[in-house]
Amino acid sequence: MVLRILNYLNEHSRMLKRIFFVFLALFVVFDFHAARHEPHFFGDSIIGFWSLFGLLGCLGMIIVCKGLSHVWLMKKEDYYDK
């Protein structure tokens, strides 16, 4: 059952990507209509700041973790033959 779900998601990855981008756009649109109180941080007064901050933070963590995994975890092909 899990394999069928993963195959379905893999076959419809373009559609899922579009859905995720629509959700991101909806969060920014929602931020236009959200009630603003007294800002506590510099980003509180900028519309869409926290959505963009979250997106860039996730992308940054992915890039850093992928780079660290290539440096520390990846071994050469003949590593176990030595």
Buried b (16+ CB within 10 A) or exposed e, 18-48: eeeeeeeeebeeebeeeeeeeeeeeeeeeeb
Residue 60, both tokens: 């940054």
pTM equals 0.59
CB contact at 8 A, 28 and 48:
yes
**Closest by alpha carbon to 55, among 72, 31, 37, 80?**
31
| Tens digit of each residue's pLDDT (9 = 90 or more) over 39-77 | 888 888 888 888 888 889 999 999 999 999 888 888 888
